[in-house]
Amino acid sequence: MTTLSAVVADARSRLAAAGLPDATIEARILIGGVLGLTATDVFVRGDREIGGPELEKIAEAIGRRLKREPVHRILGEREFHGMVLKLSPETLEPRPDTEILVDAILPYVRQFVASRGEVRILDLGTGTGAILLALLKECPQATGVGTDLSEAALQTARENAARLGLAGRFETIRSNWLEEVTGRFDIVVSNPPYIRTGVIAALEPEVREFDPLRALDGGPDGLDCYRAIAAGAGEVLAPGGMVGVEIGYDQRDSVTTIFQAVGFVLHQALRDFGDKDRVLLFARAEPGH
């Protein structure tokens, strides 16, 4: 038998010795997650006794983190925009920067509802369903379709929708971007793969070894998926609709050029928490522009 505070201290020491920069935070999150404790519990219940099976589970989790498996992959879930989402090997971990895309597109979702009483959203490469499910959560009048090439990812997204009570407004389609998509949508959103093929090998092990390659690799220049989205978005976008995409920090100009070439105009650009370009919103160009 030992105590929670002793277990956290030991885990912090081991993670720090391995060179992990956020050892204190990660030790608390990991152990709290394994034990089903809140962050507050981990702080205030330091004298809680830990023994036998719980120690074994914690040891296994710490061992996985020392092999550079990300904390939330070990726990199997991650919070995003106030939701707890299940992860799977075929899905990216939703990151805080992607919440910027949700918050940027949300006013336009509400505008459609205010004018028409409903809004239809398409999420391309949905993964866990994070973006679309966040929008559905925030807007009860919204319905949406999430697409992905991975059936396993779509299954994860459907499970997340069910867990959140959103399954009735959430559909999935297995599709390579827009190839299998029909109908019209007021909002099209995507966080597509945008990393250049040649730099993937140099990424941190947490990303390179545990995120699905298909969700990272954007082709030789990192822009293949934007070309596919831009090429088909006009066919499915309803009049007055909006396209929102997450981008890499150095891709604003090149992605804007791709969309402008097929009749879109840049409506809004937003930066992330590190003050880097992260989200672009496009509208159809008005006649004469």
Residues comprising the binding site?
Answer: 125-129, 148, 177, 191-194
Report the candidate in 228, 245, 226 with the shortest Cα–Cα distance to residue 283.
245
**Contact, 70 vs 77, CB < 8 A?**
no
Q: Which residues are annotated as a binding site for S-adenosyl-L-methionine?
A: 125-129, 148, 177, 191
Report the candidate in 31, 39, 152 with the shortest Cα–Cα distance to residue 92.
152
**C-alpha to C-alpha distance for 277 and 275, rounded to whole angstroms:** 7
Residue 190: exposure state from Cβ atoms within 10 A (0-12, 13-18, ≥19): buried
Q: Which residues are annotated as a binding site for substrate?
A: 191-194
Q: Which residue has 């009483």 as its token pair?
A: 117
**Contact, 129 vs 100, CB < 8 A?**
no
Q: Which residue has 């989200």 as its token pair?
A: 279
56-76-33-138 Cα dihedral, nearest 10 degrees = -170
